[in-house]
């Protein structure tokens, strides 16, 4: 799980990518937006469960299963992002930034 200060920059990056992707009606931009939202959602899930686990608010087995699922889903999202076709609205840089953030998680 990323450090608390790092988490803010990751979320900001994901939000910027969401805004960039949502500015166009192209399929690749919509795909990028969808994957960015999914990554953000799984990141939020992992953080909430991690915080609850650390504070003792959830059982170990629940936290372990949820964090394992989040990891699996983030791997799937990485694969989906890899498959997004480039267009004038989704550049290699856009994909690279998002992929780097997912890999960092």
Return the domain boundaries, the chain.
4-104
Higher confidence at residue 13 or residue 45?
45
pTM, full prediction: 0.67
Q: Which residue has the higher pLDDT, 63 or 21?
A: 63
**In 3-state terms, what secondary structure has residue 92?**
helix
Q: Any residues with CB less than 8 A from the CB of 98 and at least 6 apart, and which?
A: 13, 14, 17, 32, 35, 36, 39, 81
Distance from C-alpha of 89 to C-alpha of 105, rounded to nearest angstrom: 25
Q: What is the pLDDT of residue 7?
A: 64
| Average pLDDT of the segment spanning 64-75 | 94
Higher-pLDDT residue of 86 and 48 is 48
Q: Tell me: the pLDDT tens digits for 22-67?
A: 544 457 888 888 888 998 899 999 999 999 999 999 999 999 999 9
- The C-alpha atoms of residue 48 and residue 35 are separated, in whole angstroms, by 20
């Amino acid at each position: 799980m990323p450090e608390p200060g790092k988490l803010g920059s990751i979320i900001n990056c994901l939000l910027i990518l969401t805004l960039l992707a949502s500015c166009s009606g192209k399929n690749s931009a919509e795909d990028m937006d969808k994957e960015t939202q999914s990554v953000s959602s799984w990141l939020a899930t992992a953080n909430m469960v991690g915080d609850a686990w650390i504070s003792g608010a959830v059982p170990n087995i629940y936290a372990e299963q949820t964090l394992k699922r989040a990891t699996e889903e983030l791997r799937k999202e990485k694969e989906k992002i890899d498959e997004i076709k480039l267009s004038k609205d989704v550049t290699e840089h856009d994909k690279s930034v998002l992929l780097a953030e997912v890999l960092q998680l």
